[in-house]
Amino acid sequence: MPHTPMRPPVRAALALAGALFLVAACSSDPPVSRGEVLGDRSLAVLPKAAIDAATAASGAQALIGTARCAVDVRQFVHTTVQPDGTQGSASAALLVPVADGSTCTGPFPILAYNRGTEVLRARTMANPSDPETGLLMGFFASQGYVVVATDYLGYAESRLSYHPYLHADS
């Protein structure tokens, strides 16, 4: 088959496509990341006696016993990916057992907790007086587990105006 030279418009289109590919590949936009901690603060440290009083009042203490550890309730904000692929932020609670050298010693295993659907956008798992957070403290953190409890996109400290319910990529 004889070789036929490319016509100038085809050659120009290929050159343009190649140039666009190189521009896209060498873009100066920073990559979108997940998991970079943007802020972290302690909201309260609940002593064992306060946790015991709450679990006794709720009746949960019959199931879990008394607290072995005081609990530091922390809130952190981290980077994540939004549904449109851009970088956003979300918050979570970190319930940390406070080692005391006697009944509460590490190392502490980590438990990830994902709450169910929520209708109150301002509600955060990093609220020491929230009943669900109280149960997490009583059942897990006061027994020696570090608990990470997410707030999700669209809740608490997230700036997204909605929660992307059932959006797998985010």
Whether cis (ω within 30° of 0) applies to the bond prior to 107 is: yes
The amino acid occupying position 45 is: V
Three-state DSSP state, 103: coil
User: pLDDT tens string for the chain (170 positions)?
Assistant: 555 554 544 454 444 444 434 334 444 456 677 778 888 899 999 999 999 999 999 899 999 999 999 999 999 888 888 888 888 888 889 999 999 989 999 899 999 998 877 777 778 888 888 888 999 999 999 999 999 998 887 777 777 777 777 777 76
DSSP character string of 39-77: EEEEEEEE-HHHHHHHHHHHTTHHHH-S-SSEEEEEEEE
pLDDT of 15: 43
Residue 24 — φ and ψ, nearest 5°? Answer: -65, -40
Pairwise CA distance, residues 162 & 154, whole Å: 5
CATH of the structural domain 37-150, one choice from 1.20.1250.20, 3.30.1330.200, 3.40.50.1820, 3.40.50.80: 3.40.50.1820
51 neighbors 71 (Cβ within 8 angstroms): yes
Beta partners for 92? 76, 150
98 neighbors 162 (Cβ within 8 angstroms): no
Domain boundaries, the chain: 37-150
Tokens for 160, please give them. Answer: 């997204």
In the chain, what is the straight-line distance between the N-terminal and C-terminal CA atoms, in Å?
A: 52
